[in-house]
Structure 1
């Protein structure tokens, strides 16, 4: 008999972390392909798909803001074990 599945449903924090890992990977690839010693700020923005915004633009949402907005209710472990 196979062991019970240990897979869980990804949380919003998981999705944010995976997106950040993907972006870091893209930066590493861009840096390794660059001719110079460093990537320019414009090239970093291009890799990260960041649009130039005017100074009075809305603030960028940070990982901390996302993490703080995620529902962190305690998990009903008894119910989870029955699933």
Structure 2
């Protein structure tokens, strides 16, 4: 057995949420590696399989921007 590698057996525990996050991260990395420019938030959403309407704080495409509060100096 090589150093740092444990055999897998019936006692192996998996964190399925962490594995899902790693898979999503890998999908984004693959998309970024294949792009010749920065990906837009919409393109990243598409890679991740989410709809902008499903995300809190982000209006769907084509929606009117929310009014901003005045800036204080």
> Which category of TM-score, normalised to the shorter sequence, fits these structures?
0.5 to 0.7
Structure 1 runs (4+) deviating above 2 angstroms are 5-10
Q: Mapping of 1:1-83 within 5 angstroms?
A: 5=9, 7-10=11-14, 14-36=15-37, 38-53=38-53
User: Relative contact order (C-alpha < 8 Å, sep 6+): which is higher?
Assistant: 1
Please report the RMSD computed on the Cα atoms of aligned residues, expressed in angstroms. Answer: 2.6
Residue-pair matches, total: 49
Calculate the TM-score normalised by the size of structure 2: 0.55
Q: Which runs of 5+ in 2 are unaligned?
A: 1-8, 57-73
Calculate the TM-score normalised by the size of structure 1: 0.49
Considering fraction of residues, name the structure with more helix. 1
Q: Which runs of 5+ in 1 are unaligned?
A: 57-83
